[in-house]
Amino acid sequence: MLTSKTSSRIKTYYELTKPKIWYLLVFTAFGATVTASNIYDIQVSPITWALMLGSVAAGSAAANTLTNYHDRDIDAIMERTKNRPIPSRRIFPAEKARDFGLVLTAISLCTVFGISFTTTLEQGLWATGFIAFGLANNVLVYSYALKRQSRLNIILGGLCGGAPPMIGYVAVTMHGLWDLGLVMAGLVFIWIPMHIWALTLHFKEDYNKVNVPMLTAVQSEKTSARVIAGSTVMMVLFSIVPFFLTTNTNEPVMHEVYLYTAIATGVLMLALSVLVLTKPTEKASWMLFKFSSPYLAILFIALMVDSGL
């Protein structure tokens, strides 16, 4: 039996990993695996499933933990983040969080390389490369190099979001990796700026307080609304791309189920972005932010369902 103190400590470290973020990333990896498995009729072994999902979960949690460690100074000032485990001193000293993040990093890299032994060495190496790239991009490029320096930080820093679908896909096959696999990664990559910019418009005072130049925090509300609307349009248009892809035998990859789902959810997202455009308020941007995560999840559900028909 766990003592209440041990249970509380586990919950604190779990909170440190920002589970609401990595849940969605793991789901995109899961969706990519199911979709590739359905299209190419390849059975994925339970061990491969465990290694793939475990590595993506550990890698995403590691990245969130290490960025939390780096941002501990500004997190202590921002209203939205001051109660996180490090600034609230529920984890002290902060180096404990850093060490935890490094352990998670090692676990994710070792776990993902295990795919080499359940599939092929090529698949395992590519999966390991995607995990390593995602970690480096999120922690070093976004958090350390760009976040506090450039208003376009989330564009280059958001490339890491495409890693989980690529890992999920390559755990099944290398066929079509640079077609459908890359497009699924692109869905996440293009979604990230819209998602983050809607959040930072809602909390712009927090970001300005700590001099973090998120684009929609430093620009006027009108300009920010236009940026969010434009990025939403790009996301919706790109979401249709899978419908036009074909396999090596010229069979369509996706059918009407995915197309109609992408159109219906895209219309909703466009309507919410128009609301932000006409009324660039914190309430409107918060509503768009809250709907953006279910939107991405629905797209990946549609990919899985359509590919299985």
Q: Tell me if 108 sits within 8 A of 131, measured CB to CB.
A: yes
CA distances from 6 to 9, 10, 11, 50, 84 (A): 5, 6, 9, 26, 18
Q: What is the mean pLDDT of the chain?
A: 95
Q: What is the mean pLDDT of residues 236-258?
A: 93
Question: How far apart are alpha carbons 115 and 258 in whole angstroms?
Answer: 29
The confidence band for 5, taking pLDDT boundaries of 50, 70 and 90, is confident
Report domain 1-175's class: mainly alpha
Q: Could you tell me which residues come within 8 angstroms of residue 24 by beta carbon, excluding any fewer than 6 positions away?
A: 293, 296, 297
Per-residue pLDDT for 272 more than 80? yes
Residue-level pLDDT at 104 = 98
- Give the tens place of pLDDT for each residue, 67-92: 999 999 999 999 999 999 999 999 99
Q: Report pTM.
A: 0.96
Q: What is the pLDDT of residue 3?
A: 79
Helix (H, G, I), strand (E, B) or coil at 143: helix
For residue range 10-65, list pLDDT tens digits in order. 999 999 999 999 999 999 999 999 999 999 999 999 999 999 999 999 999 999 99
pLDDT at residue 281, as a whole number:
72
Q: What pLDDT is recorded for position 1?
A: 59
Q: Please report, for the chain, the start and end positions of each structural domain, with discontinuous segments joined by +.
A: 1-175, 179-309
- pLDDT at 118 (0 to 100): 98
Q: Are 131 and 59 in contact (CB under 8 A)?
A: yes
**Mean per-residue pLDDT for 271-292?**
88
> What's the rounded mean pLDDT across residues 96-110?
98
Tell me which residue has tokens 């480096």: 136
Q: What is the pLDDT of residues 143-201, one digit of tens each?
A: 999 999 999 999 999 999 999 999 999 999 999 999 999 999 999 999 999 999 999 99
The stretch 242-270 carries a mean pLDDT of 94
Angle at 165 between CA 161 and CA 171, to 5 degrees: 140
Instruction: State mean pLDDT over 87-105.
Output: 97
